[in-house]
Every structure is written in structure tokens, then in C-alpha cells.
Amino acid sequence: AFNFCAGPAALPTAVLNRAQSELPDWHSTGMSIMEMSHRSKDFVGAADKAEADLRSLLGIPSNYKVLFLQGGATLQFSAVPLNLLGAGQTADYIDTGIWAQGAIKEAQRYGNVNIAATSGADHYHHVPAQSTWNLTPDAAYVHYTPNETIGGLQYDFIPEVEAPLVADFSSSILSEPLDVSKFGLIYAGAQKNIGPAGLTLVIVREDLIGKAQSTIPSLLDYAKQANSGSMINTPPTFGWYLAGLVFEWLIEQGGLTAMQKLNQEKATLLYDYIDRSGFYANPINPANRSKMNVPFTLADSSLEKAFLAESTAAGLLNLAGHRSVGGMRASLYNAVPLEAVQALVAFMQDFAKRNG
């Protein structure tokens, strides 16, 4: 079977097999890594290796801290303003859909938020060109959502702004090379391209930390987390370990350049078929189509139930669109092989022939 779930998403089979073989007795310690103290030499070694591999994959400069946290990307919607938005300051947000709005709503609880651009008028079918953004002089930061997981909308550029750039990379991190030096802060829930749910990654430039509002919980304070190696309390040890296995797997695959090539190939195969099918449709401006999440509709929406039942029976799993938008969605994260997309397109062709 092939799993097209948007999250928690497919993990590489090789990683699952390795985790299974290591599960009862990690490196002949007589224990599972799940049963180990997070402060033990063994666990700290595995955690440090995971961070080093991530740094090498993304080329993270040495003046950035990498934090392995909990609470999901959603808690970062609060942590970002609580750490970076000083009294009287304004933060700029770009509204490109449901996840950008999630970040905006939380930030508005803590300070001044300026929605510098939105593509709501066109149902979020394009990314607003940066030349149209109404940025605040001296903004505390500019927040954007590089990939809208539900809408299937992806930026085809990294914004060039004066204020620190903050990005919710939950659904596109590690899918292609990234120039981390262009960002003040990157965050991502793990459950798409990193590992299991329960782990949240934050990559933050050192000069931005240490200015948090004094009343915030210590667990949300980037400076305190950085100073304690993300171990103020018990971190999500199993997720951290598994993320480490995913990073090793990515390095073995040839790193993020190899992932970019594969992800482009998968996305092109599916979008090209949708466009020429005359039966399926994707409404997103072609330059902004997501390579990770491909929503599509059928010519006749009354066929959706049959499409889902038959695709599931054919081993093509989790193709239903998000409950808020309906339709179909195929998520093509790193762990989804090219053969999965080939099988999906073959099924879609056959279904269209029988029902068109």
C-alpha cells in the first residue's frame, strides 16, 4: 500500500524497519531507546548526532540554535510572538490560507499584528507577489507559511525583507535545499518530513533569543530551551531518535538536492496528468502549486465516495481532502516513492475512463 496522508504522514520504510530492529535493545544496551534517561550518555549521543546530521543536511550556520521541542507547530504560533514581539511593536503576517490564519489568530492575542498581504479574494489560489506587501517599517518580524498543507499552495520565492523572516515550514522542510541564513526563525511540526508527531523543530538565529516576555512559560522561552539543550524537562525522546534515523536516511539518499529532484518528478507527473485529464482539476496558479500536497477535484463530486472506496481498495491510502475543503488531496512527502505516484496516476486514469 502507498500512504498519501497529509500528516501524520508516511515514514520511509527503511527507517521503520531499522527502528523495529533496534526497538527492544538499542545498540546492545539491553534497553529500548524509549526506556532510557534523556540525560544518559547514550541518549545524548543519539540526540547530538541527530542535530549534527540536520545541520549538515540544511547547512545550518553556527549562529543558529536548533531546538527539539513539543506542542506542535500550533504552539509555535504562540511561542513566536511571545519571544519576538516586544511591547508596542508590530509583527507582519502574510495570509495565504488556513495555516497562515492559525498563526495570525494566535499572534493577535499577544500584540499588534499587521496582515501585510492576503490572497483571500481569490480563494488563496495564488501567493501575493512581494511587491504588493504592505510591510511595517521596523516590524518585529515578518511571518509567512511557505507551504499551505490544506490549500496546496507553495511560495516559489523566499521573501526578501528587512525584519527577521519567520516561517512555518511544517509541510515542506527537508523537501529541497534551503538557505537558512535568510531566516530569523524556522519552525516545523515533525509529522510530515521529519518523524513522528510529538516533536517540533525550531531553528532560530542566536541574536533573536533572550528577549522573551518575562511571564511566559519557561518551556516556551527559546533562550531557556537553547541553554538547556532542549532538555528543561523530558524531551520527546522517541521522536527525536526517530527523526535522527530519518536524517541519516536522507543523507544516504543523497541529501536535499536528491530529494528536490525526486519531489519535482513526483509533482510534475501528478499535475501534468490532472491538467490533461479533462476529468480532474487543481485550481492553484501553476507557479504556486505545492510539490508536497496536491488537492484535486473530480468532474462530478458525486463520484468522490466511489473514488475513495476504490482507491483505498487498490492500496492508495488517505486521499480524502481536508475536512474543511473536501475533494481529494495526495500528499507527496519525501517518504512517498515515485512508484506511489505512478500507481496513483494509473488508478486515476482508469477511474476516469470508467466514469468519465
Residue whose C-alpha cell reads 512559560 in the numeric block = 217
Burial of 325 (0-12, 13-18, 19+ CB in 10 A): middle
- Retrieve residue 272's grid coordinates: 501534468
Nearer of residues 72 and 229 to ligand PLP, judged by Cβ: 72
- Ligand-binding annotation for 168, yes or no, is yes
Nearest-approach distance from CB 21 to ligand PLP, in angstroms: 28
Rounded Cα distance between 319 and 301, Å, is: 14
Total site size for ligand PLP, rule CB under 6 A: 11
Q: Is 230 in the site for ligand PLP (CB under 6 A)?
A: no
Q: Is 318 in the site for ligand PLP (CB under 6 A)?
A: no
Nearer of residues 145 and 311 to ligand PLP, judged by Cβ: 145
CB burial readout 6-21, b (16+ within 10 A) else e: bbebbbbeebeeebee
Q: How many CB atoms lie within 10 A of CB 91?
A: 28
- What residues from 141 to 200 belong to the interface with ligand PLP (CB under 6 A)? 145, 149, 168, 170-171, 189
- Ligand-binding annotation for 63, yes or no, is no
Nearer of residues 171 and 298 to ligand PLP, judged by Cβ: 171
**Would you name the residues annotated as active-site residues?**
99, 168, 192
Nearer of residues 7 and 244 to ligand PLP, judged by Cβ: 7
CA neighbor of 330 nearest in space, from 266, 279, 277, 245: 266
Q: Are strands 280-281 and 293-298 parallel, antiparallel or unpaired?
A: antiparallel
Nearest-approach distance from CB 350 to ligand PLP, in angstroms: 30
- Ligand-binding annotation for 149, yes or no, is yes
Q: How many CB atoms lie within 10 A of CB 285?
A: 13
- Ligand-binding annotation for 329, yes or no, is no
Judge whether 166 and 183 are in contact, CB under 8 Å. Answer: yes
Interface residues with ligand PLP (CB under 6 A)?
Answer: 7, 72-74, 99, 145, 149, 168, 170-171, 189
Binding residues for pyridoxal 5'-phosphate: 73-74, 99, 149, 168, 191, 233-234
